[in-house]
Amino acid sequence: MSNPPSVPDGNQNTPNGNRRRNEQSSPIANGSDTPPQSSPALFYNSSSSQRDSDTFGRDSGHRPNRAVGAGIGSSPFNYPSSSQNSNQQGSDSFGTQRRTTGNVLSSQNTPGYPYMDHRSDASLNPASSLGGSGHRVMMRRNDIHASDLSSPRRIVDFDSHSNSITSSSSSRISSEANEPLRIIWGTNVSIQECATNFRNFLMSFQYKFRKVLDGQDSFINTTTDEELYFVKQLNEMRELGTSNLNLDVRNLLAFKQTEELYYQLLNYPQEVISIMDQTIKDCMVSLVVDANLDYNLDEIESKFYKVRPYNIGTQKGMRELNPNDIDKLVSLKGLILRATPVIPDMKVAFFKCNVCDHTMAVEIDRGVIQEPARCERIDCNEANSLSLIHNRCSFADKQVIKLQETPDLVPDGQTPHSISLCVYDELVDSCRAGDRIEVSGTFRSVPVRVNQRQRALKSLYKTYIDVVHIKKVSDKRMGVDTSTIEQELLQNKIDNNEVQEVRPVSDEDIRKIKELSEQDDIYEILSRSIAPSIYELEDVKKGILLQLFGGANKTFTKGGRYRGDINILLCGDPSTSKSQILQYVHKIAPRGVYTSGKGSSAVGLTAYITRDVDTKQLVLESGALVLSDGGVCCIDEFDKMSDATRSVLHEVMEQQTISIAKAGIITTLNARTSVLASANPIGSRYNPNLPVTENIDLPPPLLSRFDLVYLVLDKVDEGTDRQLAKHLTSLYLEDRPENVSKGNILPVELLTTYINYAKQHIHPVISEEAKSELVRSYVNMRKLGDDSRSDEKRITATTRQLESMIRLAEAHAKMRLSETVTLDDVQEAVRLIKSAIKDYATDPKTGKIDMNLVQTGKSVIQRKLQEDLGREIINILTENPSDSMTFNNLIKQLNEQSQDRVDSSDISEALSRLQQEDKLIILGEGVRRSIRLNHRV
């Protein structure tokens, strides 16, 4: 075990203190184990010209640890030679510190690092780490700290013969290697020791070490858990030609030799990750050489291997980030609100001399490309003669993502916080708006200019995270259906590793899933597992279960596209658990958004225009329905929405798109989401004597877009009330009694894993038998409207009901993990459709099903009565000598001729229809308005 990290001098982190330290910087005195603190910065490859570190002048263009330099064949570390003063400084015209870098350390004089690539400049602005004084770094478990310098660390080397290092561990390493000791500036962390320990970890780690750390000693499998875990992964990377290694950081704690490396990675990710990258390449070369494989070593040496650490063990909330976390490895969870288009980020600039045509390449240095002042050619040496050739420069992909706290993490009474993420290269476009992700990266801070044309900086710094790993994960949430979201969006691969959508399904999980699917009562078990705390409502739970499985989206070259998402509406009396069901579905559904109708606006559901804080440009922010693309959108108090808000749902629920034309932004957004809504009846109690359209304040065209409409009514029944009361009181007991069905309820994790597996791997096809049954059932439902005693037939089913039956039958087949839709699937779908239609599409006056109630708001009988009333009004006006009559006289005459009293509202509606048909002319308003025939027609 090495000594604790060296502790710098006690000067305060103030401008005066920094200036004193710069003035007092000198070569290391004998007996000191702390390198000089002179504007430290990480040294990487540089051109032969001088580079200004410009401590307070750079405020943009920062790059992450792996943002640049892939494929450049030189070491990622730049060490000043022993013959050159590594602290050579000067002052530029702006009074800032300037350093001339040392010689580039080539592969010939770098023992152990013959294959290093320049991976990045670590995106460190020397001003970016001024997080305030007292920034402490824990390096080991024994609570030994090292004050983090007020400016970034860099890697330096010391000649063990000319300089004395008192650290016992450093002396031991130096004497053993008999070579210059290279450490991270401001600490005694040895580069060689980090590389050696990580190499041993890669070549010797077995997964049983991790099980011991997690306390799972009894579950060790001698066959698989004793394999060389990372050697196997490295061989797979070589065979697949990939270059990314996802590293579970807690595995470092499980390996005794890398316990210290774990804390070094958390506190110095910028330097340690670069060391790990190079070590992976060394291990790849060693594996090929040791196995005598016929493999091209040049191909391995030219590759740029990257380690992507995750699961660091300490997860922070956005509110907990503070200046002490700057330049540390952090992990956050959140919801993506917006992702910018791909931004080309320059990594190597190509300059050409306008006098002698000499060319030179200049790499990025802490986010800034330094234009050479003079031509480096000795014969020319012309000042200000170099121009940038853009098409010869090298660029990397960059994307900025806005991450916001998830609603469940926001404290009561507060608004959610957000933070910017910068992703590069393979991580670009790996996630999109609406995804819930866990990111690992380095917390950065950059200065902000008061004015873009001035070098003066604000005292407040802007923070962001340089992302090294993205993981879309939640054990209790389902994945996205591959038939709902295009395959190319789901198969965003980071070389050999996909961005994980959910917890990976293990072989043991697959075995359990297949065993469950073979049970005869799997349908009942899964439906009982949906919101098990809610009593009864079996059909409602079965419908929601099939909604979670979903049908299959179909795109035909000639027939357009048909949705596979199922929409469900719950309507009924208060205190019938409608909102609780929505809350449960929201917790387990993928990319789900929960909103309330009264608190939602049209732009809040679709998209709205806002001005970006950084770029000051108008950008499009996604609303609830767009964020739910590929998931389930839960809308409570659906009936309380305004008409403008409800109007946008017509397009979403059928075409599953949102058309936007605002502020010069014209686009169509995808909203391929299932809608689960709940609504209360008018007057808070459902009136069984009125049709559903008069009970619910919803327009009939919107109501007809729901596949299933369930009426959840509070009926008085002593037996049911007693069972419900027992169920509710048992939920409040500390030792609640065992329910009969409790043993048949699946845990949430297993339930979501089952549904996720079915959505991703099962794509059922309708068989001929199922097709015939669908046709027969649809025709039979249409026949219910035949009535020889009626002049006009009732519509009892439409093509929307047929499409709903197809979707429900496919979902039922998915639930059974069957690749074929069978007769049983169709019969259950027809039963659910008929059960729902019987409740909400029944005319209370006749007791018969009439889909006209749902589609037009009026039954066949009501429409016929309106037509008869209109004909009677025309007859009365025709028989009147003056062809006109007041409204009061018309009501009196109609009531005299009718056996039943005619309501004035019905008469007004009939008059309005006749006026629209240009059969009547109405003058005036109210009861005194005059009505006469229109003879011009």
Residues 637-642: what's their mean pLDDT?
A: 82
108 compared with 865, residue with greater pLDDT: 865
367 compared with 281, residue with greater pLDDT: 281
Answer whether residue 72 shows pLDDT above 50. Answer: no
Residues 777-802: what's their mean pLDDT?
A: 69
Note the pLDDT tens digit of each residue in 582-603. Answer: 888 888 877 777 888 777 777 7
Of 621-635, 835-849, 881-895, which range is least confident? 835-849
Name the domain boundary from 854, 885, 920: 854
Cβ(627)–Cβ(586) below 8 Å:
no
Cβ(429)–Cβ(448) below 8 Å:
no
Residues 188-211: what's their mean pLDDT?
A: 86
793 compared with 72, residue with greater pLDDT: 793
Percentage with pLDDT > 70 across the chain: 68
DSSP H helices in 481-537: 487-490, 507-517, 522-528
The answer to whether residue 370 is domain-embedded is yes
Same domain, 512 and 619: yes
Residues 849-855: what's their mean pLDDT?
A: 62
User: How far apart are the C-alpha atoms of 701 and 653, rounded to whole Å?
Assistant: 11
Note the pLDDT tens digit of each residue in 645-664. Answer: 777 888 888 778 888 887 77
Cβ(929)–Cβ(922) below 8 Å:
yes
The total of structural domains in the chain comes to 4
Note the pLDDT tens digit of each residue in 385-428. Answer: 999 998 999 998 999 999 988 877 777 777 888 899 999 888 88
Closest CA to 71 of 233, 365, 298, 229: 298
The answer to whether residue 276 is domain-embedded is yes
Cβ(397)–Cβ(72) below 8 Å:
no
pLDDT of residue 885: 76
pLDDT of residue 309: 92
Facing residues of 674 across strands? 632
Of 8-17, 567-576, 876-885, which range is least confident? 8-17
The answer to whether residue 194 is domain-embedded is yes
Judged by DSSP in three states, 443 sits in strand
Note the pLDDT tens digit of each residue in 606-637. Answer: 877 878 776 677 777 778 888 888 788 888 88
862 compared with 76, residue with greater pLDDT: 862
Closest CA to 365 of 92, 68, 36: 68
Note the pLDDT tens digit of each residue in 796-831. Answer: 677 888 888 999 999 999 999 988 999 999 999 989
User: Over the chain, what is the mean pLDDT?
Assistant: 71
823 compared with 845, residue with greater pLDDT: 823
Residues 145-166: what's their mean pLDDT?
A: 39
pLDDT of residue 148: 39
pLDDT of residue 38: 33
pLDDT of residue 484: 41
Same domain, 23 and 160: yes
The answer to whether residue 622 is domain-embedded is yes
Answer whether residue 515 shows pLDDT above 80. Answer: yes
User: How far apart are the C-alpha atoms of 43 and 208, rounded to whole Å?
Assistant: 39
Residues 729-750: what's their mean pLDDT?
A: 63
Same domain, 46 and 101: yes
Task: Give the torsion through C-alpha atoms of 497, 503, 505, 507, to 10 deg.
Answer: 90
The answer to whether residue 459 is domain-embedded is yes
200 compared with 935, residue with greater pLDDT: 200
Same domain, 526 and 587: yes
Secondary structure element (H or E) that encloses residue 694, with its range:
helix 692-695
The answer to whether residue 55 is domain-embedded is yes
CB-based contacts of 933, cutoff 8 Å, min separation 6: 874, 877, 878, 883, 884, 919, 920, 921
Name the domain boundary from 831, 854, 877: 854
Split at pLDDT 50, 70, 90, the class of 794 is low
CATH number assigned to the domain comprising residue 417:
2.40.50.140
Answer whether residue 168 shows pLDDT above 50. Answer: no
pLDDT of residue 812: 92
Name the domain boundary from 854, 874, 899: 854
Answer whether residue 476 shows pLDDT above 60. Answer: no
Note the pLDDT tens digit of each residue in 337-391. Answer: 888 888 888 889 999 999 998 999 998 876 678 888 889 888 888 898 999 998 9
Same domain, 712 and 625: yes
Facing residues of 397 across strands? 344
pLDDT of residue 785: 57
Residues in the chain: 937
Of 146-160, 566-580, 608-622, 756-770, which range is least confident? 146-160
Same domain, 769 and 822: yes
Residues 248-273: what's their mean pLDDT?
A: 88
Q: Does the model's pTM come out above 0.75?
A: no
Same domain, 568 and 664: yes
CATH number assigned to the domain comprising residue 672:
3.40.50.300
Same domain, 214 and 343: no
Same domain, 890 and 818: no
Note the pLDDT tens digit of each residue in 80-91. Answer: 333 333 333 333
Answer whether residue 218 shows pLDDT above 90. Answer: no
- What's at 455, amino acid-wise? R
User: How far apart are the C-alpha atoms of 51 and 154, rounded to whole Å?
Assistant: 15
Note the pLDDT tens digit of each residue in 895-932. Answer: 777 766 777 777 777 777 777 777 777 777 766 677 77
- What's at 323, amino acid-wise? P
Answer whether residue 177 shows pLDDT above 60. Answer: no
Residues 184-208: what's their mean pLDDT?
A: 86
Same domain, 627 and 658: yes
Note the pLDDT tens digit of each residue in 690-715. Answer: 777 777 777 777 888 888 888 888 77
The answer to whether residue 319 is domain-embedded is no
Same domain, 408 and 514: no
User: How far apart are the C-alpha atoms of 698 and 853, rounded to whole Å?
Assistant: 12
pLDDT of residue 801: 83
Secondary structure element (H or E) that encloses residue 364, with its range:
none
User: How far apart are the C-alpha atoms of 783 and 773, rounded to whole Å?
Assistant: 15
Answer whether residue 862 shows pLDDT above 80. Answer: no
pLDDT of residue 681: 84
Answer whether residue 25 shows pLDDT above 60. Answer: no
Answer whether residue 493 shows pLDDT above 70. Answer: no
CATH number assigned to the domain comprising residue 907:
1.10.10.1420
pLDDT of residue 859: 60
User: How far apart are the C-alpha atoms of 883 and 896, rounded to whole Å?
Assistant: 19
Residue ranges making up the domain that contains 80:
15-232+262-295
Same domain, 703 and 840: yes
The answer to whether residue 23 is domain-embedded is yes
pLDDT of residue 21: 40
pLDDT of residue 308: 92
Residues 268-289: what's their mean pLDDT?
A: 89
